[in-house]
Amino acid sequence: MQHQPGILYVVATPIGNLADMVPRAVTVLQTVSVIACEDTRHSARLLQHFAIETPCVAYHDHSDEKKVDALLARLQAGEAVALISDAGTPLVSDPGFRLVRRAREQGVKVVPVPGACAFVAALSAAGLPSDRFIFEGFLPAKSGARLKQLQALAGESRTLIFYEAPHRVLECLQDMITAFGAEREVVLARELSKAFETIHGAAVGELAHWVASDSNQQRGELVLLVRGAPPQAEGLDDDAVRTMEVLLAELPLKQAAALGAKLTGLRKNELYQWALARQSDDA
């Protein structure tokens, strides 16, 4: 009789407060044959806290194929394997995709054990529309690529969610001012579930100033949530279009929108979004 493969458990772990560990996750980690950790040293404190003595092996998305093959061999032999990341839900801007993909391709049952996820926690408390949203993960580290990606999202009406490194958060906010305009609402969620948890929202121009003036806000794990773009105007009248065409031929988009608002009496953000849409159509 053919041997049944084991089960790969994808186990979420706390993003800070160890009390957020769900009982089912503890039971799974105590009873599987092996735990695949992003960093075995980092996970040691969590496992010790819950008296989990299951053997661990290092696994991340940069692991060589031999480590993936070794885990798959154990699964095919009928063993149960748990996958965890350093914090939160594996595969959500964390390692695990290659292993899960190959396990499913080989007929291994993959079972999620839900728990903490930083962007979901941030969204639940940000006060931004949560019925429709986009999770973009980490933006590019280099300013030029980061700004280009943000500009491509400027007209998106759904709430935008990003992870960002603390040493880049101020530069990222400044790029958001350029891409979205200084008045777009942004919420910074920092150190969620930890001692210095901070959730602070403001117009991105104000938020950048607040972060720049307090170095503590440039530390720890960060989530940035951006209110989606307002509905675009159906169209401008002919005089407003001609005014904006002249201004855009001579000035950067942001300055053209600001001056256009003074000349036409229309809202600066409305003109900014119209110009963005026009550029997108011309591209």
pTM of the predicted model, to two decimals? 0.80
Write out the two tokens for 34: 């092996």
Q: Does 234 have pLDDT greater than 80?
A: no
Write out the two tokens for 224: 């940035």
**Greatest alpha-carbon span in the chain:** 81
Distance separating alpha carbons of residues 30 and 247, to the nearest angstrom: 66
- Give residue-wise pLDDT tens across range 108-152: 999 999 999 999 999 999 999 999 999 999 999 999 999 999 999
Confidence class for position 33, pLDDT limits 50, 70, 90:
very high
With 0-12 / 13-18 / 19 or more C-beta atoms within 10 angstroms meaning exposed / middle / buried, residue 67 is middle
How far CA 86 is from CA of 44, 61, 97, 113, 183, in Å, comes to 10, 13, 15, 15, 35
Binning pLDDT at 50, 70 and 90, where does residue 2 land? very low
Pairing of the two strands 198-203 and 81-84: unpaired
The pLDDT of residue 240: 87
Identify the DSSP state of 54: -
| pLDDT at residue 11 is higher than 60 | yes
Q: Tell me, what's the pLDDT at 5? A: 77
Q: Is 72 exposed, middle or buried (0-12, 13-18, 19+ CB in 10 A)?
A: buried
Mean pLDDT of the chain: 92
Residue 78 to residue 216: CA distance in whole angstroms? 48
For the chain, the straight-line distance linking the first and the last C-alpha, in angstroms and rounded, comes to 61
% of the chain beyond a pLDDT of 90: 78
